[in-house]
């Protein structure tokens, strides 16, 4: 599957994308594959599968705690790739529509595996893209290898216009637009300037734009989604799983209202 074409087709159709972030191995390693299925059933267009790391600098306390718990339970990059491969195979066997999985993680685990091994294992698992928030595009060559999935660039509200244009020239599936300055985490309210940042990012990069960081409630959808091509939700999902007696059902129940809100927005503009 060509992930760039997949995203472009969705955007061209007017569809608003929904991408949950799931920390691999959280709340337990045994939950990961079932949670991927639950998020697909909840309306995910693609899923970011996070690789637990001991020093996740871009993550707030909720995702840091999830990462630490997953690591203590034995979660690894290899096990995350195995879970993605199992999910993909089971999805295909059931005849369901493909829901791509992108890996989001920090540089060290990827470099420790080695670029060529990572590319081979990612390709075998059907990984659609890599998101590495602590690796600047100028250093992407460190993870360059035949068959490596495409890399996703990041931008923040204080990213200069010139830099946005540089990121746009990289091409690729989409731009990850960090909606708040700081680390991940739920926010009750997002700055009024966020929609204008998202619109600027779309215009200057020419790439589809996914907004992440701080998005926690379906009520935020009408304010954010018109200015971008989709939303990424992480910390709020992790909190929902933490509080759940049945994490699998909780994942589906958590995501569905976001899917409903995004679809309602599209219907309203048709």
pLDDT given at position 248: 97
7 found inside a domain = no
What angle, 0 to 180 degrees and rounded to 10, lies between the N-to-C axes of helices 77-94 and 115-125?
A: 20
Q: pLDDT of 153-181, one tens digit each?
A: 999 999 999 999 999 999 999 999 998 65
**Which two tokens mark 249?**
């059902």
Strand order in the sheet with 154-155: 127-131, 101-104, 47-50, 17-23, 230-233, 209-212, 175-178, 154-155
Alpha helices in 95-147 (DSSP H): 107-113, 115-125
What is the rounded CA–CA span in Å between residue 159 and residue 234? 22
What is the rounded CA–CA span in Å between residue 241 and residue 61? 15
203 found inside a domain = yes
Residue 135 phi, psi dihedral angles, 5° rounding: -125, 110
**Which two tokens mark 58?**
């871009």
pLDDT given at position 180: 67
Range of the domain at 88: 17-263
pLDDT given at position 63: 84
pLDDT given at position 60: 66
pLDDT given at position 190: 54
Check if the beta carbon of residue 37 is closer than 8 Å to that of residue 90.
yes
pLDDT given at position 59: 62
What is the rounded CA–CA span in Å between residue 109 and residue 153? 19
Least Cα distance to 136 among 148, 151, 147 occurs for: 151
5 found inside a domain = no
6 found inside a domain = no
Low-confidence spans in the chain with pLDDT less than 70: 56-60, 180-192, 269-270
Number of domains in the chain: 1
- The SS3 call for residue 216 is coil
pLDDT given at position 181: 53
pTM for this model (two decimals): 0.93
What is the rounded CA–CA span in Å between residue 85 and residue 127? 8
270 found inside a domain = no
CATH number at residue 173: 3.20.20.70
**Which two tokens mark 17?**
């994308």
269 found inside a domain = no
198 found inside a domain = yes
| Residues designated as active site | 48, 59
21 found inside a domain = yes
């Amino acid at each position: 599957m060509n992930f760039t074409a997949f995203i472009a087709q969705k955007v061209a159709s007017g569809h608003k994308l929904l991408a949950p972030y799931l920390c691999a191995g959280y709340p337990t390693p045994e939950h990961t594959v079932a949670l991927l299925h639950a998020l697909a059933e909840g309306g995910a267009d693609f899923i970011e599968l996070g690789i637990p790391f001991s020093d996740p600098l871009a993550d707030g306390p909720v995702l840091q705690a999830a990462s630490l718990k997953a690591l203590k339970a034995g979660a690894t990059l290899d096990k995350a790739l195995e879970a993605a491969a199992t999910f993909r195979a089971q999805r295909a066997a059931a005849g369901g529509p493909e829901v791509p999985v992108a890996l989001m993680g920090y540089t060290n685990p990827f470099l420790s595996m080695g670029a060529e091994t990572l590319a081979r294992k990612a390709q075998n698992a059907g990984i659609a893209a890599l998101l590495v928030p602590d690796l600047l595009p100028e250093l992407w060559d460190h993870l360059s290898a035949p068959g490596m999935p495409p890399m996703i660039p990041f931008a923040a509200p204080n990213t200069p216009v010139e830099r946005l244009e540089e990121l746009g020239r990289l091409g690729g599936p989409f731009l990850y637009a960090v909606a708040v300055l700081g680390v991940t985490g739920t926010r009750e309210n997002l700055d009024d300037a966020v929609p204008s940042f998202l619109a600027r990012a779309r215009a200057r990069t020419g790439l589809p734009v996914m907004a992440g960081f701080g998005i926690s409630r379906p009520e935020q959808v009408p304010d954010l989604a018109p200015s971008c091509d989709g939303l990424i939700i992480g910390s709020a999902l992790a909190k929902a799983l933490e509080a759940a007696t049945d994490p699998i059902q909780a994942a589906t129940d958590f995501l569905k209202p976001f899917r409903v809100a995004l679809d309602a927005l599209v219907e309203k503009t048709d």
